[in-house]
């Protein structure tokens, strides 16, 4: 064998060894799951503890759950590949799939809904009575905010022209602003309402309902191998369908069940992609 061929052969062997070492290192380090900050960080970590424990046992590997201080930071963390698995809003999921090659695995079957609520004793009974008023909502990047703005437009109300949409740090805070008279209405969702203290939930009544849209989606970072993705997906599906902890988790959160995320599910989100990209590209 010529010296050149020997060097090439040695390079290939070294390359294979390095790749093998990297794969081993990836398997040894914790699987990092990022969860969209739709609840305070502590609540999210506690809520997802049963899923973490189940995946950790099934994978034979440590699993860690992370979130971010806000939607924009979470979106950027996802874009930069900070997490191995993300549990994120459907419009974020579609952008991550298209732009970074993330692999959709499963979603929650319970369709999310945007609810517009007012104080229980509010004189407001019709949408047109919101003209000139303040509506409090979650992060402007939240899919429920995009859906609600579109729904109000379809019912003759334009943001900035007819009402002002202000941002609250959480669904709970949005409703508190209504309680305090700082906003005439608030944007929320059934799952969020279900997890609120009864006193807060009962202080408002529903004025409008956007109807169903796709709920949170689980995706795998493209660096995660196909075999590992298949294993993680199977475990998540079994967690929701076959375990008491999983059924309790779904009952508490109001997410319905866990089902595979299909290509058709993701394609239906395309109409939200341009606005999502526009919002994340503008200054917060």
Q: Are residues 203 and 125 in the same domain?
A: yes
Q: Are residues 127 and 174 in the same domain?
A: yes
| Secondary structure letter of residue 48 according to DSSP | T
Of 197, 213, 229, which marks where a domain is finished? 213
Has residue 250 got a pLDDT over 50? yes
Mean pLDDT, rounded, for 196-211: 94
The answer as to whether 9 is a domain residue is no
For residue 31, what pLDDT is reported?
A: 98
Give the pLDDT confidence of 138-151 residue by residue, as tens digits. Answer: 988 999 999 999 99
Which residues make beta-bridge pairs with 66? Answer: 34
- The structure tokens 């590997």 sit at 61
The answer as to whether 277 is a domain residue is yes
Domain CATH for 196:
3.40.190.10
The answer as to whether 21 is a domain residue is no
- Alpha-carbon distance of 73 to 67, in angstroms, equals 9
For residue 38, what pLDDT is reported?
A: 85
The answer as to whether 3 is a domain residue is no
Q: Are residues 137 and 149 in the same domain?
A: yes
pTM of the shown model: 0.81
For residue 34, what pLDDT is reported?
A: 98
The SS3 assignment for 109 reads coil
Q: Are residues 35 and 106 in the same domain?
A: yes
Give the pLDDT confidence of 58-108 residue by residue, as tens digits. Answer: 999 999 999 999 999 999 999 999 999 999 999 999 999 999 999 999 999
Q: Are residues 118 and 72 in the same domain?
A: no
- Alpha-carbon distance of 212 to 144, in angstroms, equals 10
The answer as to whether 10 is a domain residue is no
Of the listed ranges 19-23, 160-164, 244-248, the least confidently predicted one is 19-23
Q: Are residues 151 and 207 in the same domain?
A: yes
Q: Are residues 126 and 137 in the same domain?
A: yes
Of 193, 213, 233, which marks where a domain is finished? 213
Q: Indicate the pLDDT class of residue 26, thresholds 50, 70 and 90.
A: low
The answer as to whether 6 is a domain residue is no
- Alpha-carbon distance of 157 to 100, in angstroms, equals 35
Mean pLDDT, rounded, for 198-205: 94
Q: Are residues 121 and 194 in the same domain?
A: yes
Query: What whole-number percentage of the chain has pLDDT above 90?
Result: 75
For residue 25, what pLDDT is reported?
A: 46
Q: Are residues 131 and 156 in the same domain?
A: yes
For residue 40, what pLDDT is reported?
A: 83
Q: Indicate the pLDDT class of residue 283, thresholds 50, 70 and 90.
A: low
Q: Are residues 117 and 184 in the same domain?
A: yes
Q: Give the residue from 242, 279, 228 showing the smallest Cα distance to 31.
A: 228
Q: Are residues 209 and 225 in the same domain?
A: no
The answer as to whether 23 is a domain residue is no
- The structure tokens 């191995």 sit at 84
Has residue 122 got a pLDDT over 90? yes
Of 187, 213, 239, which marks where a domain is finished? 213
- Alpha-carbon distance of 35 to 74, in angstroms, equals 8
Element (H, E) at 4: helix 3-28
Beta pairing class for 133-137 and 163-167: parallel
Has residue 13 got a pLDDT over 60? no
Q: Give the number of other CB atoms < 10 A from CB of residue 123.
A: 8
For residue 20, what pLDDT is reported?
A: 35
Q: Are residues 191 and 266 in the same domain?
A: no
The SS3 assignment for 126 reads coil
The answer as to whether 5 is a domain residue is no
Number of domains in the chain: 2
Has residue 208 got a pLDDT over 70? yes
State which residues form the domain around 122.
Answer: 113-213
């Amino acid at each position: 064998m010529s010296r050149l061929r020997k060097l090439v052969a040695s390079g290939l062997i070294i390359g294979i060894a390095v790749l093998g070492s990297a794969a081993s290192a990836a398997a040894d380090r914790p699987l990092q799951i990022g969860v969209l900050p739709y609840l305070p960080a502590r609540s999210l970590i506690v809520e997802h503890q049963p899923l973490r424990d189940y995946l950790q046992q099934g994978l034979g590997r440590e699993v860690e759950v992370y979130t971010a201080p806000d939607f924009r930071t979470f979106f950027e963390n996802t874009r930069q590949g900070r997490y191995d698995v993300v549990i994120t809003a459907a419009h974020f999921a579609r952008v991550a799939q298209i732009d970074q090659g993330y692999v959709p695995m499963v979603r929650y079957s319970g369709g999310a809904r945007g609810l517009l609520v007012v104080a229980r004793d509010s004189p407001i009974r019709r949408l047109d009575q919101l003209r000139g008023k303040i509506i409090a909502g979650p992060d402007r990047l939240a899919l429920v905010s995009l859906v609600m703005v579109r729904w109000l437009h379809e019912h003759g109300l334009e943001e900035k022209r007819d009402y002002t949409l202000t941002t609250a740090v959480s669904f709970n805070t949005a409703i508190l602003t209504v309680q305090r008279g700082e906003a005439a209405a608030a944007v929320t969702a059934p799952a969020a309402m279900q997890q609120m203290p009864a006193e807060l939930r009962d202080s408002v009544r529903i004025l409008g309902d956007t109807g169903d849209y796709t709920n949170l989606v689980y995706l795998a970072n493209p660096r995660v191998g196909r075999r590992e993705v298949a294993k993680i997906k199977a475990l998540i599906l079994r967690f929701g369908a076959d375990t008491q902890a999983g059924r309790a988790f779904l009952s508490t959160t109001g997410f319905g069940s866990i089902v595979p995320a299909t290509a058709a599910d993701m394609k239906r989100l395309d109409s939200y992609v341009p606005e999502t990209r526009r919002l994340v590209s503008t200054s917060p």
